[in-house]
A and B are shown apart, each in its own frame.
Chain A
Amino acid sequence: MIKTVDLKKTFIGRGQTVHAVDGVSAHIKPSEVVVIIGPSGSGKSTYLRCLNGLESSTSGKIEIEGVDLTSKKTDLNRVRREVGMVFQQFNLFPHKTVLQNIVLAQQVVRKRKDAEAEEKGRMLLEKVGIAEKEHEYPIRLSGGQQQRVAIARALAMDPKIMLFDEPTSALDPEMVGEVLEVMKQLAREGMTMVVVTHEMGFAREVADRVLFMDQGKLVEEGTPEHFFTAPKEERTKAFLRQVL
């Protein structure tokens, strides 16, 4: 479903060259939940953003459902419809109500009729548990509610893959649970998910596979069981000692 081969992303600025992603090869299968963990600046977010073309890769190959993202002929907008993304800062549209946030892209990109889009929007709000807030503006919602709206907004496009970029890092601790709950439900429904997170509990419970990245490189990968109980690499052990 998602395949990256020797993916590299290099930032050049002010005479400095940063290898944010440095040769990552991975293969993510349909319905798989992959959690990427690693210290700050390890390139995990950049890797995730390469997967829907928000960052253009420097070299290497990205294939989403057989479509080559690095090819110039690929229409990125078509690919992005199939790949939902949830951001750390929610990035809801502040000038639109909750329902409009979910409806807009359906109308503009998927060309759905108003009634159809609204029905879908209400159904998804129901699903993430904030149906009663549809006419509120995002600013009046709590962080956890905003993030759930953001998830509903991404789901409204009927994506085949969902990317989560530290979805709970900007939340107050007591709101983390409600967002993780929605994500767990998605995972149970068989959504293909790539999640960058610091929530080790989520990784342990939900992930099919855990990738550990450091300094742009994929250091270790394996099942959560392997990863949290018997990691091989020294770097992984050091990291886990810090966070657990």
Chain B
Amino acid sequence: MKIINKNIPWHFLTLFILFSLCAGLWVATKKIDYTWRWNRVPQYFIYHDEELIPIPFDGVVASLSNLGDQTQIKVVSEQGEEKTFTVDSNAVEVSEGEDLFQGDYLGAVFEWRAGPLLKGLWVTLWISAVASIFGMIIGLVTGLCRVANNPTLRSLSITYIELIRGTPLLVQIFIFYFFLGTVLDISRIVAGISALAIFAGAYVAEIIRAGIQSIPKGQMEAARSLGMNVPQAMVYIILPQAFKRTLPPLAGQFISLIKDSSLVSIIAITDLTKSGREVITSTFATFEIWFVVAFLYLMLTSVLSQVIAWVERRLSVSD
């Protein structure tokens, strides 16, 4: 209890500093005469879409039957063809016996639809997830090659790692899209995901290598002395321990990957960043949208760090 009491003034100071920073931001935007329009933002997450239903031929409304929220409209064409449409009851635009021409609206159906920000968030999420999985596989294989006895495997993995770590991700994405995309005829999504996965793989490989090398030599010797071969010793003894040790740096790497995925917007993949840019062109709510986009990225990354912290806690039972 005493320790907590002693810290309370400091917590207040922290809150005060954060509050001052926010206030400063607010004052600064006041000065440039910016009108905040937060009310424009929600419709880009989810919106109520109205779909108008037209009649496909010239004809007559034969009957209307109300089924509560929805209404069934039966229409008959001049040739005697019958068709039934369902529209929302509060959006019926015709009455019984009315003559209609082809293309006239019978009514409308309303539906909730995901807006561009939600769609972009989803694209970012699955692109990052797929790239992470492949990045992990590539990194694991390369990391194992990096510590292998075979000189060719070692040299190849070092070349790959140096090549990828030494060039900017943005340039790699361009090369994947414009060069490999053209030569191998792959789509922009595949090009984007490959660039991200191969980029992450190089860093993961070094993390895995460091993890493997941090396990004392005696562990491998003990496993071998029990008759296990190298793959068995790796799978059962070395990698589980290495994985546990490398979890914090791996978490950092995958959080980076989520953020780096924003770069694929440059090759016209409609991820969260590109969706944000598109929404800005139609709302001019530049500040609001970028803040929202940043917050959404923050949500993705903090969920990931929570998950990894949970795994870390679970693995720490043997400490």
Q: List the interface of chain A (C-beta within 8 A of B).
A: 52, 54, 77-78, 80-81, 83-85, 87, 89, 91-97, 104-105, 108-110, 137, 139, 150, 153-154, 157
| Smallest Cβ-Cβ distance to B221: which chain A residue | A54
Q: Contact check: which of A96, A105, A139 meets B226 at CB < 8 Å?
A: A105
Identify the closest chain A residue to B241 (Cβ): A95
- B314 to chain A minimum Cβ distance, whole angstroms, is 12
23 intermolecular pairs with C-beta atoms under 8 Å apart: A54-B224, A80-B224, A80-B226, A83-B225, A84-B226, A91-B218, A91-B219, A91-B222, A93-B222, A95-B241, A95-B244, A95-B318, A97-B318, A104-B236, A105-B227, A105-B228, A108-B228, A108-B236, A109-B232, A139-B318, A139-B319, A153-B226, A157-B227
Ranked 8 nearest A-B pairs via Cβ: A81-B227, A91-B222, A105-B226, A91-B218, A85-B225, A109-B227, A137-B318, A80-B227
- Given A104-B236, A139-B318, also A87-B228 (CB < 8 A): no
Chain B residues, CB < 8 A from A54: 221, 224-225
Interchain CB contact under 8 A, A80 and B232: no
Distance (whole angstroms) from the CB of B230 to the closest CB of chain A: 9
Contacts of A154 in B (CB 8 A): 225-226
Which B residues are CB-close (under 8 A) to A109?
226-228, 232
Give the contact-size bracket for chain B.
20 to 34
A137–B317 contact, CB under 8 A?
yes
Q: Which of B225, B229, B240, B317 contacts A84 (CB 8 A)?
A: B225
Give Cα distance in the complex from A154 to B221, angstroms: 12
Q: What is the bound-complex CA distance between A108 and B218, given in angstroms? A: 19
Task: Give the CA-CA distance A52 to B228 in the complex, in Å.
Answer: 13
- Judging by beta carbons under 8 Å apart, are A77 and B221 in contact? no
B residues less than 8 Å from A93 (CB atoms): 219, 222-223, 237, 241
Q: Digit string of B208-222 for contact with A (CB within 8 Å is 1, else 0)?
A: 000000001011011
- Chain A residues, Cβ within 8 Å of B241: 93-95
